[in-house]
Structure 1
Amino acid sequence: MEPLKEMYSRDWVLNLGSHLNAVDSNIKPLEFQKQVFSSPWKEMELKERINRLAEVVVQNWQGPIANIFSNLVTLIDSLRNQGISDFNFPYIFLNDIVTKSGLSDFETSMKAFEKITVFSSSEFAIRFFYKQHFDKTLKQMFLWSKHKEPMVRRLASEGSRPMLPWGIGIPEIKKNPEIHLSILESLWDDPNEIVRRSVANHLNDISKLNPELVLEFCRHKFGKTSELDKTLKHSLRTLLKKGNTKALGFFSYNTKWKPEKFKFSLSQKKVKVGNALEFKIYLSQNSKDKTKLRLEYKIGFRLSNGKHGFKVFQLGERILMPSGTIEITKKHSFAPITTRVYYPGTHTISILLNGNEYDLRKFELKRG
């Protein structure tokens, strides 16, 4: 698969230059392309390429955000008129234009983000304003949480996350994750799913910092609709994977339940990178009642320092009938992926039933 940074092809950048030329005839498409691709473009990673695009536009337009704002709005309208859809990731560089030209003009920058976030989300850029204008940005997020446009409401939650992946850290938010709870209270049952998903991710971030805060937030919200219960479950996913008894209890998982019989076997004790580890589970119960089971497995991946980092994977949810049995055969792939480096050596695998860990086994991962 081609790296994401290659989305900025020569043709894509030339086409962008043509759109810019329609807004400002002083920008020549071929010259714009040349500026963007000047060395060391080939060595640049994705974030650096995003930054380069913004830099070149700012060089051409010059001046503060107040002078650039109308051009940005016209450019977005032009792109839409050519059939380019909203919430379009490649155009995220438009946000960097605002951070480069607008940190000293808060009001105009917020107007720009309101427009840009609908076209290409602004959650990373707004964090630079938290850094420089914390109280004003906090107030703006509260206002945006009531906005008529769903993508602006989403920005109020997504841009204020304590642990936003890719986003610069905001120590004040991490130390005081409760400061945005009123925003989350307004948006957790939003009619738009993408807004609700952002709230769930925000709450999940908080759960890593202050579990009780999230448990209390969710406690009395269950049962409104199945869709909203899904949002709450997604909010609690880290606590569920950690076997938090309160979180599991919200979903009627009996953490005191134990199987009458339990068997767990590995098909092999050695696996090569690129292959898969196969394992089997068998369990039964004698209970006269149905039992709701959350089934997971946990792998201890060997790290570069010889220690283990653990990750929990879902096997699903089952209803175990009275005197019933469950048999599962599963393969876990060790094919190379961009988000994990595999280190040869001893790994571990165990089974989790309603948050309780059973039968830790060891296996050796070999080089492919």
Structure 2
Amino acid sequence: MAYKKLKDWFDKALAILLSEKIQPVFQGFDSQRFIREIDTGIHGLELKARVELIADILREHLPQDYPQSISILTAVLGPENEKETGMFTEGYWIMPIAKYVEKYGVEHYSESIAAIREITTRHTGEYCIRPFLERYPDKTLAVMGMWSRDENVHVRRLASEGLRPRLPWARKLDQFIANPEPILQILENLKDDDSKFVQKSVANNIHDILKDNYQIGLQTLERWSQDPTRARQWIIKHALRNHIKQGNPEAIRLVERC
């Protein structure tokens, strides 16, 4: 099979797929017009613009009452992803739904937070959670603290990945660059997680923190290195990978201790 860029999956075929999922749930959905508007609008657009365009066209074709529209969209998500892979290769089509929540759901906190949890068990909510962290930091941190103890590995990962201060493809979380302590409190719940999927997110989060708050990040890893579990050993090494490559003596000493 010929290689297909990720952006090219967001095309007429995806519009057809979405319409086939939505129409049985919302019979007033104008599938033909929806497909036509996406097919004529996506040409020349890159990935993020395509995803946003589809979210915007969904907004036009769904009930304007957000709680009603998001209930329709969550109803089409299908079964949860039981693997630690496939977020994009299989769940890519959910990206416009996540963008819909990110762009149109901030005024509807409870419905959107519930939708983000559903989305992340099939795809990822790491991008759409960020406006809620900015608008409602205390309330959303409390939710993510609960998520860090969730049975579902994707939800636990979101508790870390959604809080990364410098998450690629996402806008920075300036309030946590200024003060990463709220992030670190949640990472404490995840530092011994058995899932490599979660461990990688925790390590990447600390890797982000080290860029702006080196001493705070290093002190956290120092503490975690005391009688470390295997999970923490891996997290520490992965979090410090760039510093080790650069020959940073503090990083090398810490990794050797593990």
Whether TM exceeds 0.5 here: the answer is yes
Q: Which residue of 1 aligns with 2:129?
A: 126
| 1:85-164 correspondence runs (5 A) | 87=87, 88-164=91-167
Q: Which residue of 2 aligns with 1:247?
A: 251
- Matched position secondary structure for 1:23: coil
Amino acid at match of 1:29: S
More helix by share: 2
Change (3 A) 1:226 1:103: closer
The one of 5, 26, 41 equivalent to 1:24 is 26
- Matched position secondary structure for 2:75: helix
The one of 235, 242, 258 equivalent to 1:238 is 242
- Matched position secondary structure for 2:60: helix
More strand by share: 1
Q: Which residue of 1 aligns with 2:51?
A: 50
Amino acid at match of 1:31: R
Amino acid at match of 2:235: T
Aligned-pair identity (%) = 29
- Matched position secondary structure for 1:200: helix
Q: Is the 8 A contact 2:165 2:208 kept in 1?
A: yes
- Matched position secondary structure for 2:176: helix
Matched, 1:70 2:71: yes
* Alpha-carbon offset, residue 63 of structure 1: 2.3
Amino acid at match of 1:76: L
Q: Is the 8 A contact 2:192 2:231 kept in 1?
A: no
Q: Is the 8 A contact 1:141 1:156 kept in 2?
A: yes
Deviating beyond 3 angstroms after TM superposition, the runs of 4 or more aligned structure 1 residues are: 220-228
Q: Where does the alignment leave 5 or more consecutive residues of structure 2 unmatched? A: none
The whole-number CA distance in structure 2 between the counterparts of 1:138 and 1:226 is: 27
The whole-number CA distance in structure 2 between the counterparts of 1:192 and 1:108 is: 28
* Alpha-carbon offset, residue 47 of structure 1: 0.3
The higher-RCO structure (CA 8 Å, 6+ apart) is 2
* Alpha-carbon offset, residue 231 of structure 1: 2.0
Amino acid at match of 2:8: E
* Alpha-carbon offset, residue 124 of structure 1: 0.8
Scaled by the length of structure 1, the TM-score of the pair is 0.63
Return the index of the structure with the highest Cα Rg.
1
1:191-219 deviation per Cα after TM superposition (whole angstroms, max 9, x unaligned): 22211111010000011112222222122
The whole-number CA distance in structure 2 between the counterparts of 1:216 and 1:100 is: 37
The whole-number CA distance in structure 1 between the counterparts of 2:80 and 2:27 is: 19
> Cα RMSD over matched residues?
2.2
Amino acid at match of 1:33: I
Q: Which residue of 2 aligns with 1:36?
A: 38
Amino acid at match of 2:57: V
Matched, 1:212 2:215: yes
* Alpha-carbon offset, residue 252 of structure 1: 2.9
